[in-house]
Every structure is written in C-alpha cells, then in structure tokens.
Structure 1
Amino acid sequence: MFVSSSPVGRFRFPAAVALTAGVLLSVSACGSIDPLASGGSSDAPSDTIVVGSAGFAESEIIAEIYAQALEAQGVTVSKQLNIGQRDVYLAALQDGSIDLIPEYSGNLLQYYAADSTARSSDEVFDALSSALPDGFRVLERAAAEDKDSYNVTAEFAEKHTLNTLSDLANLDETFVVAGNPELAERPYGPRGLTDVYGVKANLMTFSPINDSGGPLTVSALIDGTVQVADIFSTTPAIAENKFVTLADPKNLILPQNVLPLINSDSASDLVVKTLNNVSAQLTTEDLIDLNARNQGDEKAAPAALAQDWLTEKGLLSS
C-alpha cells in the first residue's frame, strides 16, 4: 500500500509507552490533527466509543467500517483517525484516548509475545487473547488478512521455477531482496528466509526501500533493480503487475487476520455483536478492492468506501 506506514505498525516498543513530548511530536508528523493533544483521556462522553486508526489508509477504512456499523446500531461514536504507528495508538488505547482500533493478529501477538511459537491462524488468535494486557480485548477475527508477502515478477518466477519461498533456496545466482529498512532485522526478513527455508545468505543482498511496498518498491521490482520484494498482500499493484506472490507453507510470516482491539470496558454486548458481524463478512478480496478504489484513479475516501461496503453487506440497517 502506497503509504508511509504499514499494517504492522511494524516497530515494537514496550506496550505501556508514555505519551511523552517526543511521541506527541511523532503523532503530529502524521499530517493529521493531533488526536492526543489533550494529553490523555478523550473528551468524548463516557458512553461514546472513540474509534482510532493507525497512520495508513487501510486502517482508516476499516476504522470507518467499525464506526459506521456501530452508529447504525445506535452507538454514539467519535473518531480519532490516522494516529500513527503501533506504539502510539496502543498508548492511546491504554490511557483511554481511544477505545477501539483495527489490528492485525500476528504482528500484535509479536508485539506482546515476541517469543511465541504460534503459527496457524487459530494458534495466533488463541495466543494473542492470552498475551494481551489487562483491560484489552480482541473480538472475532475476520478472514481478511493483510500481511508481508514476498513477490517476484512473472518472468523471474518462470525463469527460475519459483512458486514458494522454498524455491528461493535453489537459486544459484545473486539476487536482491527489497523491503522497508526494518525488515533487515525482522524474524521474517532475510535471516528468516535462510533459517526457515535454507535460502543461501551469501547470494542474497538486502536493499532497504522505505515506502512500505509502495511505488518505489514496485518500480524496483519491475525494472530489475531488485528481484524479490516485500509488498503487503492487499496492495493492488500485485495484481496490476501480475507479480507472483511466493507461497509461505512454513508460516515464516505469521497470519495477519484483521480484528478489533478494544478496551474491555467498552465491549458491551451490542458493540461486540456489531463488530463480530463486520468481521464475519470482511474478506481479503474486500480489502484489495477497497484499497484499489482508495489508491487508484477513483481516490475514494475511507468514509465513502466504508459506507459502500456496509451497504453491500446489509450492515447499515438497525
């Protein structure tokens, strides 16, 4: 997705990060109003659900879906969107500045339990539910996923018979892997390709491109500057350019199901039922379509996309 941040929020910091002046400055740098400028709890009434989002478009779209679905059921909603990366919005959830935010199961688990051995979607969800701090709760996960994925051009895949990450171990020539700078140190980065799939480290070079699998990464893959690129799986450019996403049968990259993360005190029966109904219908294909409409020629706004999706799914009627 062609944004400055990513679904992972993919930097890990202690969960109880205080909202220091430096953190507040990082929020302001997101280019939106500073939702935490009041320095703590939200100004919303106590019976209002404050819905937040991370600092990228897909998170904002899902947050709008959550907010509008709740409003359709008579829940009073306030929105604090485009907050920033995970350390910032989890601190906001901790101090009550927001009550609810879309999250991604695998990376949220790694934030709280970096050494977890969970690998399947069910294992990750169960481990996450246990790893969350007191006062936090995750609701039902959607089938929809947005995760890191390793991609090659169709020509490169055909030339080297590449279908899975295991096939990269058969390469006998040097090749370049591109991704956000932090990928170099991630367990699912180049080191993971070697440790889990036996990819030859001496043939693999890492090229940092800081656009979260966006246009610079896509261009580098197309023109052959890099041969393998980490691109988030719901990015429309994958299909548009007929890239081949290499399968990950050993779950080097954890499942990343979309799910609501909520303050337990805000999880009334009505809120839980409404958000679970959203998750029951949200698919990966939906995310790809929503992102394409947002990033493509239409440039549809997140609020409009949310309304269209909820109407299509029949979730706007009381």
Structure 2
Amino acid sequence: MIRGTVLLLSLWLGYGSSLEAREVPDVIVGSKQFTESVILGEIATQVLRSRDIETQHKDQLGGTRFLWQALLTGEIDLYAEYTGTLMEEIFADRLQGRRDLATLRRVLAGEGVLMSEPLGFNNTYALGMPAARADRLGISTISGLREHPELKFGFSNEFMARADGWPGLRQAYRLPHRAVIGLDHDLAYRGLASGSLDVTDIYTTDADIQYYSLRVLQDDRGYFPDYRAVFLYRADLTGRQPAVLPALRQLEGQISEETMIAMNAEAKLDKLPESQVAAGFLRKRLGITADSRRVGLSTSLWRHTVEHLTLVGISLAAAILIAVPLGILCARRPRLGRLVLGGAGILQTIPSLALLVFMIPLLGIGTWPAIVALFLYSLLPIVRDTCTGLRDIPPSLLESADALGLPRFARLRLVELPLASRTILAGIKTAAVINVGMATLGALIGAGGYGQPILTGIRLDDKGLILQGAIPAALLALFIEGAFEFAERWLVPKGLRL
C-alpha cells in the first residue's frame, strides 16, 4: 500500500511540475467571483494579448481580500477594482475619511501598487427589492425600510462584513432589522424571485436589476461612495513589461455605465461567454480584433478532469503517507494518540474557505494551497480508522504472532496491518470521497477542477454549466467507490473478506 502510494505521489508531482513549467505567462490577470469583474479581466487580458504580451486570466478568485492578497504576493499582476472598495474597505483606517484619488494613489504606491485612471463607469452599492412589493409597501428609499422591520434581509457574504457594507449601513440609517442572513450574491437574486428574501445588496450595473424587476432604493443619506472601476497593477510590472501600461491606457474612460450594463446582460442573460463579450466590446469601441480563445466542451471537460484528479491524487497520496503512520502511533501510544486525533479533529472543523484564505499568504493562489487544504482534511478519517483497525485486532491473534517469535516490525507488517487492512481502506475511501467534493472549492483560488464550471454556472444562473461540474464529480466519486472495492480484493486477505 505504501509503495503504491509513493509511486502515485511521484507521478502526480512529476505531472504537476511539468505542467507548471510549460505555463509561464508574461502577465497574470485576476478577477473576482462576479460577472462584471470577469468581463473586465477578459477585456484587460485581450488588450494585452493584442500587444503580443502572453497573458493568462485567472478568473473567479473569490472576493476582494483574495485578489488584494494575491496582488501583493505577486500571484497576479493586475485586476479590476473599485475606488469605493479601496477607500472604504482596504484602506479605510489609513485614509481617515479622505476620498480623493491623489491620496489613494499615494497609499497604493506605498504597497508597491499603481492604479489606472477610472474606466468610465460608477458601479456603486445599492439596496434592491422586488418592485411590486416595494410599490405595495410604498418604499422608495433606504430610510423607508425603518418602518418595516418584518422584511427579510439577505446580503452577500462580503457585504455582511465590509466596513462600507451592512454594519455601517445599519448604523447610518438606524435600521431595526437584526435577523439578516449572508449568502452568495447571485443566489440572493433567486431568493428575491422566490419570495424567501425581501431586500438584498446589488451593484448598480447589474443586469439582474431589470431581469428580476427590482426597485433600486434611493440612498437618501448618501452613505455609499462612488465605486469607479480602475485597474490595479504591481509597480514592478511596468519594468518587466513596458507595453502593459500603454495597453491599459486605451481603456481609461471608455466604458460607460450603459455599456457595462449591456455587457453584463450579454453574459448573464444572453449566456454569451465573457471572452466573447469582451472581444465584442474591444472590436466595436477600440477597433481591436482580440483573441477570445474559446474552449470547446470536450477540451474544457478534459482540463477540469485532469485538474481535479491532480488535487485529489496528490492530497490523498500525501495523506496516506502521513496518516497511516500516525494511526499506528495512536494505537501504540494511547495518550499521545488522543492528542493526535484531537489535532486532526480540530483541522477537520476549520471552515474550508477560511483554511484556503490562511493558505494564500504562505502558498499563494492556485493548485498547491488547495492540495494542502485537502491533505489536512484527509488526515482524520485515515488516522482514526488505522488506529481503530489495529486496536480491534483480537489479542489472541497477537499472542500467536508473539509465540512465533516475530520481531515487532515484522508482526506489524505481516499480521497487524493485513488484519486491519479492511478498516484502513475504509478510512482512505472516506477521505477520497471527501476530497472529491471538497476539491470543487479549489476553483475559488484558481486551482481549477470541476468547481470551475459549477461556480460559473451559479454566477450565470446556468444549470447546464453547473451540471458540467456536478455530474463528473459525482461519477468520479462513484468510480472511487468501485476502485476501492477492487483494491479490497487485492489488499485484504481472503480470509478476512470471507
């Protein structure tokens, strides 16, 4: 079992290393996990490619903190951000209420980051609710919500925690609502449509406002600042790739609010790929014929399969190499074993998104932080079942082994591990199935896999895309179940199987 695991780990590590060696782009563009950010990332990517700059777009990398940390650590070179987010969320404590771009540029420069001129549109936060319900209740402003504490509020998870989000908004308007839930931004729209929510946060350039017939409530106290779209890029990028800055300058002031809303609608409502939407804008507005690089279904499915197997294969193989010896230690040293199992149990309780965030400063974004997170989640079932399998061996069998004069290691290898093999395999199988499901979250930090089409499908309300990730993931889990059934016939002694 151990030798096979070592071989599997070596093959996957070799594959991962060769894959990374082949992909060395000049510039890496990032984008957040919402449609507009992905479109802006595609626009920047295609503009740079039109200047013969080899550019990679890592899309849907989560929220503001994911992208900001990735930019600081050099995992990405540029991404689209909003001035309001920078002033009220990232640098609120350092700007001390100042909202001028000159001060913001100085603070950014201190972090080794430069900022483009605004792209032309303002995508500020707002609160929205179904227009029919707003009309019935006579609500047209945010202040009007105070008279209706029965309304159900649901905000995006990022808005719930932002300095310029719900906590400050509730205080500024003295809103009495306390039972507020956090959820994915795109799912909130469906909550409004189904009637399970009454009010949510929206972006003023969202195509969903018209699609779901929402009323944008007037910010009558001027709480939300301007959120002018800009590109942030690393200061060292201009030295490494001097052609980047002139390329980005072509976009400054070129995207109006109407244009951005139309592009969001093309992606969200007309189901056009973001790369195609970006290419259409560049062709019409700037006369640039861009390379949109559309990927076919079979190619996409193959790439996601390889990425998913890489995440699961490396993390599971590493977990087996570490967890089986730890399980043996737990069985041999019960007191120490309780500490080991307790530590593994604590790791299992850490929320997956939090663990991924913790990994970014250490390992950046991409494949490796996801692999480490999956490895940590795999430890508990393997350690626990290895320990349980060894402890449950009847003492009479161990006494017989001692009577034969077997050394301690030989007894472990020839008697104890074979007798416990069925239980150990059950723990490994549990860890493998957990990994298949958990690996879908790796798409949040650019690790790819089946989570990529699932996240895109949720964002675009496209059930077909969701199924492109969900069905292969389910089939992979079933395949693993069958593979372990076969492995059990090979690894578990025949007498135990009978």
Structure 2 residue identity aligned to 1:234: T
Match of 1:44 in 2: 24
**Aligned-partner SS, 1:142:** coil
Matches within 5 A, 1:17-28: none
Matches within 5 A, 1:132-281: 132=108, 133-169=110-146, 171=147, 174-199=150-175, 201=176, 204-212=177-185, 214=186, 216-267=187-238, 270-281=243-254
Structure 1 residue identity aligned to 2:156: N
Alignment CA distance shift 1:243-1:85 (3 Å): closer
- Which is higher, the Rg of structure 1 or of structure 2? 2
**Aligned-partner SS, 2:152:** strand
Kindly state the Cα deviation for residue 229 of structure 1 after the two structures are TM-superposed: 1.5
Kindly state the Cα deviation for residue 62 of structure 1 after the two structures are TM-superposed: 0.8
Contact kept in structure 2, 1:177 and 1:206, CA below 8 Å:
yes
Contact kept in structure 2, 1:42 and 1:97, CA below 8 Å:
no
Verify: 1:110 aligned to 2:82, yes or no.
no
Kindly state the Cα deviation for residue 261 of structure 1 after the two structures are TM-superposed: 0.5
Verify: 1:312 aligned to 2:284, yes or no.
yes
Q: Distance in 2 between matches of 1:81 and 1:223?
A: 29
Matches within 5 A, 1:52-91: 52-91=30-69
Matches within 5 A, 1:273-312: 273-296=246-269, 298-312=270-284
Structure 2 residue identity aligned to 1:283: S
Structure showing the higher helix proportion among its residues: 2
Q: Distance in 2 between matches of 1:108 and 1:257?
A: 10
Structure showing the higher strand proportion among its residues: 1
Please say which of residues 93-102 and 185-194 is displaced more in the overlay: 185-194
Contact kept in structure 1, 2:126 and 2:203, CA below 8 Å:
yes
Contact kept in structure 2, 1:176 and 1:207, CA below 8 Å:
yes
Structure 1 residue identity aligned to 2:40: I
Q: Distance in 2 between matches of 1:306 and 1:44?
A: 23
**Aligned-partner SS, 2:252:** helix
1:21-41 per-residue CA deviation (whole Å, 9 max, x = no partner) reads: xxxxxxxxxxxxx9xx96xx9
Kindly state the Cα deviation for residue 245 of structure 1 after the two structures are TM-superposed: 0.5
Alignment CA distance shift 1:168-1:42 (3 Å): farther
Kindly state the Cα deviation for residue 190 of structure 1 after the two structures are TM-superposed: 4.5
Q: Distance in 1 between matches of 2:117 and 2:223?
A: 23
Q: Distance in 1 between matches of 2:75 and 2:221?
A: 39
Q: Distance in 2 between matches of 1:54 and 1:231?
A: 15
Match of 1:12 in 2: none
Q: Distance in 1 between matches of 2:196 and 2:289?
A: 50
Contact kept in structure 1, 2:154 and 2:183, CA below 8 Å:
no
The structure showing larger relative contact order (alpha-carbon pairs under 8 Å, at least 6 residues apart) is 1
Which of 100, 125, 128 is the matching residue for 2:104?
Answer: 128
Match of 1:95 in 2: 73
Q: Distance in 1 between matches of 2:151 and 2:91?
A: 33
Alignment CA distance shift 1:299-1:281 (3 Å): same
Equivalent residues, number = 269
Structure 1 residue identity aligned to 2:211: E
Kindly state the Cα deviation for residue 290 of structure 1 after the two structures are TM-superposed: 1.8
Q: Distance in 1 between matches of 2:96 and 2:220?
A: 15
**Aligned-partner SS, 2:209:** helix
Q: Distance in 2 between matches of 1:78 and 1:256?
A: 26
Q: Distance in 2 between matches of 1:172 and 1:87?
A: 33
TM-score by length of 2: 0.48
Task: Structure 2: state its 5+ residue gaps.
Answer: 1-15, 291-498
Contact kept in structure 1, 2:157 and 2:184, CA below 8 Å:
no
TM-score by length of 1: 0.72
Kindly state the Cα deviation for residue 65 of structure 1 after the two structures are TM-superposed: 0.6
Q: Distance in 2 between matches of 1:81 and 1:162?
A: 37
1:196-218 per-residue CA deviation (whole Å, 9 max, x = no partner) reads: 2233x2xx243314121x2x422
Alignment CA distance shift 1:166-1:308 (3 Å): same
- Identity, in percent, stands at 24
Kindly state the Cα deviation for residue 151 of structure 1 after the two structures are TM-superposed: 0.6
Kindly state the Cα deviation for residue 244 of structure 1 after the two structures are TM-superposed: 0.9
Task: Structure 1: state its 5+ residue gaps.
Answer: 1-33
Q: Distance in 2 between matches of 1:185 and 1:145?
A: 22
Match of 1:18 in 2: none
